[in-house]
Amino acid sequence: GDSVTQMEGPVTLSEEAFLTINCTYTATGYPSLFWYVQYPGEGLQLLLKATKADDKGSNKGFEATYRKETTSFHLEKGSVQVSDSAVYFCALRGPSGNTPLVFGKGTRLSVIA
């Protein structure tokens, strides 16, 4: 079945450092890909998405590009802030759109001042 693998955490960075969180997937066809973020004590929020190969999703300085050839959707940010400290989840939904979201296990990011 469909699956998502993302890098193990936790990740600790200094403020203004560059962030990369790796995400690869296994799926048939062309799934839609997502990054969700969970701040402490809250539910998940959609951060960005991409629905076809070579699409780039972006939001709040975060970016991720849908790479079909490497089945990857890595999350990047050029300069992280303390407020970016959260758990980040990579997810996919199958091409039909009628299947549930499949999530990776999450990567905890801590940004220190």
Residue 45 binds another protein, judged by CB under 8 A:
yes
Give backbone dihedrals phi and psi of 105, rounded to 5 degrees, phi first.
-80, -5
Instruction: Say how far apart CA 51 and CA 42 lie, in whole Å.
Output: 26
Query: Nearest to residue 47, comparing CAs of 97, 13, 87, 6?
Result: 87
Strand-strand pairing, 11-14 and 107-112: parallel
Q: Binding of another protein at residue 29 (CB under 8 A)?
A: no
Q: Which of 41, 69, 70, 113 binds another protein (CB under 8 A)?
A: 41
Residue 86, interface with another protein (CB under 8 A)? Answer: no
| One of 10, 28, 29, 43 touching another protein (CB under 8 A) | 43
List of residues contacting another protein (CB under 8 A): 41-46, 89, 93, 97-106
